Amino acid sequence: MNTTNTPYRLVVLGAGYTGMLAAVRLAWRTRGGNVRITLVDPSARFTERLRMHQIATGQRLPEHRIADIVAGTGIEFVRGRATAIDTVAARVTVDDTVTIGYDELIYALGSGTDTSVIPGAADHGWTLNDPRTAHRFADRLALVESRHGAVVVGGAGLTGIEAATEIAERFPALRVTLVGTDEPGSMMGEKARAYLGRALDRLGITRVVGHHITKVLPDAVELADSTLIPADLTLITTGMRVPPLAAESGIDTDPRGRIIVDAALRSVSHPNIHAIGDAAAVRQAWGEIHGTCQSGMPTAAYVADEITRRLRGKKIAPFRFGYFHQPISLGRADAVIQFTKADDTPGRFHLTGKAAVLYKETVSRSPIPTFGLSRRFAVPVQLSKGGAATARRA
């Protein structure tokens, strides 16, 4: 650990699931080691991204202030948006005014839906990118339901399915249409996919398969074949966007803007910068990791442990991860869980109904208790088939 008089400066950009876990875990791991940790985020409140579809249907969730979560850990919380990274001087600019120097940087800025991909989406579409927008969307849903209107959800992936089923359950007078290039649940096994289909039928959700939205209009969406589907509200859940900060700062990124990392999740161009969660382009022996909380939390835990071990002069093991499940809520009273192989292809087993609801709530519960426990010991966070790299003790 650092024995000089000058503190070793660790800066974490982003206080979402991964950034918060990395910061809190680092604070416990490096306690008493002359290390200064700074956490930077533009919001004062922690956002539970996994439950945005609930907020978007008017459900009230507990609010948690970031300052309260890190209180007593020694972490300095700076509220503001990182606007530049000077990789030569090793400093971050926040809100174009404040500069923060670093010895190592953890880049955890996450991702969001890119409304620039579909014409009209930025003007007439809605996303689940932040709670304020989700609350406004919920207000509009109630108004549209009073007129027996129509809602279109673009994207039949996990987010789209959860959003569509939540909307249909909470607002049964709405006409809900789910539009996707693939069949909903195409990543799942046959039995789990069939159960999902029956749930969508029960909730009255219309599916448009084999198409994608090419234009969002004020009162409709247009498909590639020029078909128009009426829509009083359009929710877009496809097209991941990573903040351009890394690429603009000269850090090597992939075509999607994610930082390219080595086996220890360090930038291949700037080894004193680590990338975690959706912001990292991570490859494993079986292929590339795609952004989910299931993979993001282990990257955060691994980097916190890797930095600590290295500061103590210990060897590090490469990051290893394999997927374990695909949990999908189908409203509040139903769910389907597809257990998977390490590469996220379907395994033999699946879970449905009340047992699946309980399972889904267990694995998707608020991370706040995990953050609290991480202030006292290294909480295991990797429910996967990836090996023990993230659980290795410093």
Per residue in 225-259, pLDDT (tens digit) is 999 999 999 999 998 889 999 999 999 999 999 99
**Torsions phi, psi for 45 (to 5 deg):** -115, 145
Distance from C-alpha of 222 to C-alpha of 120, rounded to nearest angstrom: 10
Same domain assignment for residues 120 and 138: yes
Per residue in 31-44, pLDDT (tens digit) is 988 999 999 999 99
Per residue in 294-321, pLDDT (tens digit) is 999 999 999 999 999 999 999 999 999 9
Same domain assignment for residues 56 and 107: yes
What's residue 377's pLDDT?
82
What H or E segment, with its residue span, contains residue 335?
strand 335-340
> Cβ(237)–Cβ(252) under 8 Å?
no
What's residue 290's pLDDT?
87
Q: How many domains does the chain have?
A: 2
> Cβ(264)–Cβ(318) under 8 Å?
yes
Per DSSP, the three-state class of 97 is coil
* Domain span including residue 306: 8-111+242-321+366-374
Same domain assignment for residues 209 and 64: no
> Cβ(220)–Cβ(230) under 8 Å?
yes
What's residue 391's pLDDT?
41
Same domain assignment for residues 229 and 252: no
Distance from C-alpha of 243 to C-alpha of 81, rounded to nearest angstrom: 11
Distance from C-alpha of 16 to C-alpha of 116, rounded to nearest angstrom: 23
> Cβ(334)–Cβ(55) under 8 Å?
no
Cβ contacts of 204 within 8 Å, gap of 6 or more: 168, 172, 175, 176
Q: Both tokens of residue 381?
A: 């966070």
**Is residue 86 one of the residues assigned to a domain?**
yes
What's residue 388's pLDDT?
41
Beta-bridged to residue 65, according to DSSP, are 45
What's residue 383's pLDDT?
56
Same domain assignment for residues 124 and 229: yes
Same domain assignment for residues 205 and 261: no
The three state secondary structure string of 193-205 is HHHHHHHHHHCCC
Report the CATH number that the domain containing residue 254 is assigned in CATH.
3.50.50.60
Per residue in 314-337, pLDDT (tens digit) is 999 999 999 999 999 999 999 999
Same domain assignment for residues 156 and 267: no
Mean pLDDT per block of 10 residues along the chain (394 residues) reads 82 97 96 94 94 94 94 97 98 97 97 93 96 96 96 96 97 98 95 98 97 96 96 94 95 95 98 96 93 90 96 93 95 96 95 96 87 84 53 40
Please, what's the b/e burial string for 19-36 (b: 16 or more CB within 10 A of its CB; e: otherwise)?
Answer: bbbbbbbbbbbbeeeebb
What's residue 364's pLDDT?
84
Same domain assignment for residues 202 and 246: no
